[in-house]
Amino acid sequence: MTAVELTRFRVAPDKVDEMLAARPGMVADFRADREGFLDARLVRLPGDEWLDVVEWRSPEDFAASRAKGANLPGIAAFFATLGELVSDELGTLEVW
């Protein structure tokens, strides 16, 4: 069962370029270090908000990743640019 992490957050306008520059490093670190990481997409929303859609092989893989936190430089650099967390949810992908 594919788990889908939906994280909505705000980024200050003066941090957007830094956040976008850090994104490839975060994804590369996830690919190298996070068992079950499948893919990530970043969606720009109105009002300085963003939606990060991250797919995991299972809810257990997501939980293991969450426990590691920002343990690698690329992940830490991306997280450092984020402002306010708006919401964070985990669902499952249903394919029809």
Mean pLDDT of the chain: 96
**CATH class held by domain 3-90:** alpha beta
Residues sharing a CB contact under 8 Å with residue 34, sequence separation 6 or more, in sequence order? 61, 64, 65, 68
In angstroms, rounded to a whole number, what is the distance separating the alpha carbons of residues 77 and 18?
Answer: 9
Provide the residue ranges of all domains of the chain, joining segments of one domain with +.
3-90
The answer to whether 93 and 55 have CB atoms below 8 angstroms apart is yes
Give residue 22's pLDDT.
98
Q: What is the pLDDT of residues 30-74, one digit of tens each?
A: 999 999 999 999 999 999 999 999 999 999 999 999 999 999 999
pLDDT > 90 fraction of the chain, expressed in percent and rounded:
94
Give residue 31's pLDDT.
97
Residue 15, number of CB atoms within 10 A of its CB: 16
